[in-house]
């Protein structure tokens, strides 16, 4: 019972952190800096313009000895023309299987994810995808995202997929500093 209460508390903290990051000011010091590292892999046979991509999201850095992440919240910004599959509901619901827990978070065996929140691009703002994952896991890959890119648009690369917010927490639900996000992009023709 205590473990369930802990996960509920973690999810509430992470969700409130994500919501607090919405909108706001662009004044210096108004938001924490998020560093994103990314790599892009294109299969050798991919001579045509890719229409699908797989994003592998990860944490990078070093946790203090004996520390695990109890969860994290992250919002990624998608390049123009890149979307994720959704169900035909309002608000926009990400289709089942589009975003999955993977890597160290999946290996932990006890990780759970809130339903991802996708905000499609508008004429004034790029599309975003928000994830909240709870569990006990270390540094490394934590989620896989399947995307589609419309014809004529630039596919995701290491320079155009960015984390615009990132909130990892430790087992005592304290913010963890010194970590950044990483994105590995695989393009599929």
Percent of the chain's residues with pLDDT above 90: 60
- Three-state SS string over the chain comes to CHHHHHHHHHHHHHHHHHHHCCCCCCCCCCCCCCCEEEEEECCCCCCCCCCEEEEEEEEECCCCCCCCEEEEEEEEECCCCEECCEECCCCCEECCCCEEECHHHHHCCCCEECCCEEECCCCCCCCEEEEEEEEEECCCEEEEEEEEECCCCCCCCCCCCEEEEEEEEECCCCECCCCEEEEEEEEEC
- 49-58, 67-76, 143-152, 179-188: least confidently modelled range: 49-58
pTM score, whole prediction: 0.76
The pLDDT, as a whole number, for residue 2 is: 43
pLDDT at 160 over 70: yes
- Taking only the tens place, the pLDDT of each residue in 96-140 is 999 999 999 999 989 999 999 999 999 999 999 999 999 999 999
pLDDT at 94 over 70: yes
Give the mean pLDDT of the chain: 80
Domain regions of the chain by residue span: 2-188
Assigned CATH topology for domain 2-188: Immunoglobulin-like (2.60.40)
The pLDDT, as a whole number, for residue 124 is: 93
């Amino acid at each position: 019972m205590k473990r369930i209460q802990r996960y509920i508390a973690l999810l509430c903290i992470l969700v409130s952190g994500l919501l607090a990051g919405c909108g706001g000011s662009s004044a210096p010091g108004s938001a924490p800096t998020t560093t994103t590292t990314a790599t892009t892999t294109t299969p050798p046979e991919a001579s045509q313009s890719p229409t699908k991509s797989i994003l592998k999201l990860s944490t990078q850095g070093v946790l203090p000895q004996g520390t695990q992440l109890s969860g994290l919240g992250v919002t990624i910004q998608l390049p123009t023309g890149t979307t994720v599959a959704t169900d035909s509901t309002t608000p926009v619901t990400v289709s089942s299987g589009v975003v999955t827990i993977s890597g160290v978070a999946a290996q932990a065996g006890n990780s759970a994810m809130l339903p991802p929140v996708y905000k499609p691009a508008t004429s004034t703002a790029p599309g975003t995808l928000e994830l909240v994952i709870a569990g006990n896991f270390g540094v490394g890959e934590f989620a896989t995202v399947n995307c589609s890119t419309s014809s004529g648009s630039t596919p995701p690369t290491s320079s155009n997929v960015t984390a615009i917010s990132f909130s990892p927490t430790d087992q005592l639900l304290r913010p963890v500093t010194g970590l950044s996000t990483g994105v590995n992009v695989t393009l599929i023709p």
